[in-house]
């Protein structure tokens, strides 16, 4: 049986960084087990290709959440990357670190080393920001970040002007001094190609001979000797295999799969494990609990000026942008659909923003028959202003439904299950309408298409956003970090409480969600996690 110093389960945003950092000194051998396959695919490499990978089972787990009473009983689509790079290979590429206060709250909850000032050097070191270095930003790191200020659709200027007329300040860098305000999003791309964690970290590491990567390898169980993790069982091409870890097993399967694998291996809520006849290795009710996610909704308008719909819908337009992309690696296909956005407070008495904005010069209200909505631009000049909450108080869970590792776990999101979450979204959708009513916007809007002008009362607005909201793909905290084993899964060094030789290092360890998109903080978790692992090696 083969032994590696470290076995990393999952090659996503965090796992890719771990593979690079743990193998860097040449002292340790590293095995990465990845359930999916290669990231060398056209629609993965091409930034706007995420519209195609959004439902593609070749690269996507395509989870479905349980019907959610908070979402009008909809069973929401939960895409997660299943390939090298994980979700960073299929995400929308918006690069937001999160707010200083988020990380300071992590540290204040008893997690030394996780404050913003502690993490800022790592955030700067991992990035290569096209906009240049300053007090907050780094250059020369492995992860290239593109400044899209001059590339975004012309309509973006209207949105920026309108949001300022509605009272938000212009913010040139959401990862700078403050998050509040409106601005253009920076994205993880380089020269028109997606800059996934695999491209930035894993691919360079794979050139080292102390790194092995097994693809199409589904980890099915962590192997224990007493309370010590000593290896992993996995399935590859219909075969059951076993590998041993000389030093540590590290779970980086993401917020759905890491708790799933722990539960399958006997680490989790004892009642659940007993009901499925899984022998309990270590009981901990927090495994899979505390699920936090951002939910969002779009307001869509029919405009008087052309939007991306006029280019992305007709065959000649597709040809044009296709040529532009292939010949020059530029144009709409080289960008995210989210050209711009912002952060705002729904109540001025709040200390900091609780809502995020997205501007898309594009709309997909009417799907062509047989096509999923996200893939088909509308025939008229449509654009959308999207919203998502930043620190909702609703909590859900991820729990296995059987002992079979191939059965998807039950995802219970409980979106909008608190009054506070409903109230802030109600205030937020009213603010979107305020933006739409500003002179800069009103003069280019033909009509509001969704939800439409007839939806005006609070009750109707709430009913509408419940019906049309969905995840914005930021689930976290299902193996949350904390000093107290009664309230957390991993300790501040990311070691699983009560066990040895086992860590979780991915977005599932966030003690609470951050204000913004979660890829940067997941990559950071991989970076910081690797530091902790290396410090602990004799």
Ligand X SMILES: Cc1cc2nc3c(=O)[nH]c(=O)nc-3n(C[C@H](O)[C@H](O)[C@H](O)COP(=O)(O)OP(=O)(O)OC[C@H]3O[C@@H](n4cnc5c(N)ncnc54)[C@H](O)[C@@H]3O)c2cc1C
Instruction: Write out the catalytic residue numbers.
Output: 474
Is the distance from CB of 401 to CB of 407 less than 8 angstroms?
A: yes
Collapsing DSSP to helix, strand or coil, 273 comes out as helix
For 466-526, the three-class secondary structure string (H helix, E strand, C coil) is HHHCEECCCCECCCCECCCCCCCCECCCCEECCCECEEECCHHHCCCCCCCCCHHHHHHHH
Q: Closest separation between CB of residue 444 and ligand X, Å? A: 26
**Given the complex with ligand X, which of 405 and 492 has the nearer CB atom?**
405
For ligand X, the nearest residue by Cβ is 12
Q: Closest separation between CB of residue 119 and ligand X, Å? A: 16
List residues near ligand X by CB under 6 A. Answer: 9-15, 33-36, 54, 79-82, 86-88, 90-94, 96, 217-219, 252-255, 257, 261, 473-474, 506-507, 517-520, 522
**Given the complex with ligand X, which of 53 and 376 has the nearer CB atom?**
53
Of 358, 324, 357, 361, the C-alpha closest to 343 is 357
Q: Closest separation between CB of residue 480 and ligand X, Å? A: 13
Q: Closest separation between CB of residue 81 and ligand X, Å? A: 5
Query: Regarding beta strands 340-344 and 181-184, do their DSSP bridges make them parallel or antiparallel, or are they unpaired?
Result: antiparallel
> What whole-number distance in Å separates Cα of residue 265 and Cα of residue 263?
5
Which residues, in sequence order, are bridge partners of residue 77? 64
Is the distance from CB of 188 to CB of 523 less than 8 angstroms?
A: no
**Given the complex with ligand X, which of 402 and 456 has the nearer CB atom?**
402
Segment (H or E) for 317: helix 315-328
**Given the complex with ligand X, which of 249 and 261 has the nearer CB atom?**
261
**Given the complex with ligand X, which of 166 and 489 has the nearer CB atom?**
489
**Given the complex with ligand X, which of 237 and 349 has the nearer CB atom?**
237
> What whole-number distance in Å separates Cα of residue 531 and Cα of residue 525?
10
> What whole-number distance in Å separates Cα of residue 261 and Cα of residue 277?
15
Q: Closest separation between CB of residue 343 and ligand X, Å? A: 14
**Given the complex with ligand X, which of 469 and 518 has the nearer CB atom?**
518
Q: Closest separation between CB of residue 471 and ligand X, Å? A: 9
In degrees to the nearest 10, what's the CA dihedral of 453, 454, 457, 461? -70
Phi (first) and psi of residue 133, to 5 degrees: -90, 150
Collapsing DSSP to helix, strand or coil, 385 comes out as strand
DSSP annotation string for 33-60: E-SSB----HHHHSGGGHHHHTT-TTTB
- What single-letter DSSP state applies at residue 530? H
Q: Closest separation between CB of residue 352 and ligand X, Å? A: 19
Cis amide prior to 258 (ω within 30 degrees): no
């Amino acid at each position: 049986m083969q032994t590696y110093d470290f076995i990393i389960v999952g090659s996503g945003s965090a796992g890719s960084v771990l593979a690079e950092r743990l193998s860097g000194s040449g002292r340790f051998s590293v095995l990465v087990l990845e359930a999916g396959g290669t990231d060398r695919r056209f629609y993965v490499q091409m930034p706007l290709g995420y519209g195609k990978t959004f439902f593609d089972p070749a690269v996507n787990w395509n989870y479905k959440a349980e019907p959610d009473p908070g979402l009008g009983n909809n069973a929401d689509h939960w895409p997660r990357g299943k390939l090298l790079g994980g979700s960073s290979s299929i995400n929308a590429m918006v690069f937001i670190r999160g707010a200083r206060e988020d990380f300071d709250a992590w540290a204040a909850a008893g997690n030394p080393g996780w404050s913003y000032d502690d993490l800022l050097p790592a955030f700067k070191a991992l990035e290569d920001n096209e906009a240049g270095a300053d007090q907050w930003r780094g250059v020369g790191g492995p992860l290239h970040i593109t400044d899209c200020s001059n590339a975004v659709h012309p309509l973006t200027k209207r949105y920026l002007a309108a949001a300022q007329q509605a009272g938000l300040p212009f913010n040139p860098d959401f990862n700078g001094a403050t998050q509040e305000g409106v601005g253009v999003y920076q994205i993880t791309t380089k020269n028109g190609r997606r800059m996934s964690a695999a491209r930035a970290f894993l691919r360079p590491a794979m050139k080292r001979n102390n790194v092995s990567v097994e693809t199409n390898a589904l980890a099915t169980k962590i192997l224990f000797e007493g309370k010590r993790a000593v290896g992993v069982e996995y399935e590859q091409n219909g075969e059951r295999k076993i590998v041993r870890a000389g030093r540590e097993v590290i779970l980086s399967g993401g917020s759905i799969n890491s708790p799933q694998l722990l539960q399958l291996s006997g680490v989790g809520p004892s009642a659940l494990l007993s009901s499925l006849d899984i022998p309990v290795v270590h009981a901990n009710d927090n495994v899979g609990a505390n699920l936090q996610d951002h939910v969002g909704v779009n307001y869509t308008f029919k405009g008087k000026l052309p939007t991306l719909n006029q280019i992305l819908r007709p065959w000649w337009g597709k040809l044009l942008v296709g040529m532009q992309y292939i010949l020059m690696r530029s144009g709409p296909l080289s960008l995210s659909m989210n050209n711009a956005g912002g952060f705002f407070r729904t109540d001025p008495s709040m200390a900091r923003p609780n809502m995020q904005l997205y501007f898309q010069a594009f709309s997909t209200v009417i799907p062509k028959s047989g096509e999923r909505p996200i893939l088909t631009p509308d025939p008229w000049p449509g654009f959308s202003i999207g919203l998502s909450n930043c620190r909702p108080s609703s909590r859900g869970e991820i729990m296995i439904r059987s002992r079979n590792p191939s059965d998807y776990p039950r995802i219970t999101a409980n979106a909008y299950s608190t009054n506070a979450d409903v109230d802030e979204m109600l205030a937020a959708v009213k603010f979107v309408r305020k933006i739409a009513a500003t002179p800069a916007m009103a003069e280019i809007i033909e009509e509001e298409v969704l939800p439409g002008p007839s939806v005006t009362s609070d009750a109707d607005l709430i009913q509408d956003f419940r019906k049309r909201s969905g995840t914005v793909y930021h689930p976290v905290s299902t193996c949350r970090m904390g000093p107290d084993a009664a309230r957390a899964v991993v300790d501040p060094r990311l070691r699983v409480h009560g066990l040895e030789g086992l860590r979780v290092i991915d977005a599932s360890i966030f003690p609470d969600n951050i204000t913004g998109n979660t890829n940067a903080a997941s990559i950071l978790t991989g970076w910081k996690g690797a530091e902790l692992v290396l410090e602990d090696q004799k």
